[in-house]
Amino acid sequence: MKIVSITAQVCNAEMRNWIFVRVETDQPGLIGWGEATLEFKTNAVIGAIADFAPMLAGQDPRDIEHCVQTMTRHSFWRLGVIGTSAISGIEMALWDILGKVLGVPVWRLLGGKVRNHLRTYTHLGLGDMRAVYESDTADAIVGHARKVVEMGYDALKVVCIPYSHYTAPNAEVDRVRRVVGELRDAVGDDVDIMVDFHGRPASASAAMAFIDALSDARLLFVEEPVAPEDIGGLAEVKRRSTTPIASGERLIGRREFEPILRDRLVHIAQPDICHTGGLAETKKIAAMAEIAGIGIAPHNPIGPIAGVAALHFGVSTPNVIIQEEMSGAVPWYGDVVKWPIERRPGRWDVPEPSGSRNRS
């Protein structure tokens, strides 16, 4: 069995271009699909996929680790997020092929299931970009949140932290306290709330001003309180915060996660399967986190193939706490691929079809 072609297909989904990867073999009809979506870097990722294609031409797609090593080592130059996103999409497609060849779902190949369903959370508007990024008043946030809870979700995330300088203005801190306080009152204590900082505070001190203001809301976690390169700031936040700290969506591969996990600088790690190197690399990161007593909440605000890959990962990984999904990013999210399960609010069940999905 040999790889004969690797190509990319782009699907515009308003805020993002979903980049789907198609790996074709010399076996009639045997094709694998992956996703390599990277915001604002579409052409660069497509170019990287094209660069990797001749490296894998003629290789056996079932030798997944060998193929990844080939792409990583033959590149010579160290890879950034563009290269690793391309590798991630190709690697996912290889797992899809292997599952189809063996007639089993990919989660079986990743170690088998450790749970009977995967808990999920969503964003305001189920991920509609206007609801997520343009809801800046308590009325708007509470209104969207109530709709999410009414659909059946018991966990949601909001983006309400402003960009700040090295200190946080008192007026903004008080505003955020009021907004999240009203959100908590509206959804009740049985709904988990997460607040995504998006690395907007310019210092640990500014981040802590907001975190302290949110302590009464009893959040599941605050996400990326400082920029990903500010390891010292993250250490300070982790030391001072009484609210669980999550981060990692912009880290690449286990080597960038290693100091964060070694020094236990987060309570929850958030690798993105589409950026960090694929399913196998993310499993390695999860194993490292498990040793450190750190949970996993994979980052996944992108397309449906990434969502299916996250489902197989989450079903087979013991320290996954909860899975992000944005299935309302566009109204036709569920029409792009035939999902292996019926998606339900707050819960994705174990998929049984072989490979990672039915058909794209």
Q: Note if 117 is an active site residue.
A: no
- Altogether, the residues listed in the chain come to a count of 360
- Contact of 195 with 158, CB cutoff 8 Å: yes
CA distance 34 to 56: 15
Which of 345, 335, 336, 275 lies closest to 310, judged by CA? Answer: 275
The alpha carbon of 195 is separated from its chain's Cα centroid by a whole number of angstroms, namely 15
- Which residues fall within 8 angstroms of residue 143, CB to CB, at 6 or more apart? none
- Which residues fall within 8 angstroms of residue 199, CB to CB, at 6 or more apart? 224, 225, 226, 227, 228, 250
Token digits for 182? Answer: 């009203």
Q: Note if 267 is an active site residue.
A: no
Catalytic residue among 123, 144, 299, 312: 299
Which of 157, 209, 145, 152 lies closest to 182, judged by CA? Answer: 145
The C-alpha torsion from 306 through 80 and 289 to 159, rounded to 10°, is: -60
CA distance 188 to 107: 35
Token digits for 49? Answer: 């996929």
Local structure of residue 114 (DSSP, 8 states): S
- Contact of 206 with 165, CB cutoff 8 Å: yes
Catalytic residue among 66, 198, 267, 275: 198
From first CA to last CA, the distance across the chain in angstroms is 22
Segments in the chain forming alpha helices (H): 42-56, 64-73, 81-102, 106-109, 129-133, 138-151, 170-187, 204-213, 231-240, 253-262, 279-291, 304-316
- Which residues fall within 8 angstroms of residue 44, CB to CB, at 6 or more apart? 38, 82
Which residues belong to the active site? 198, 299
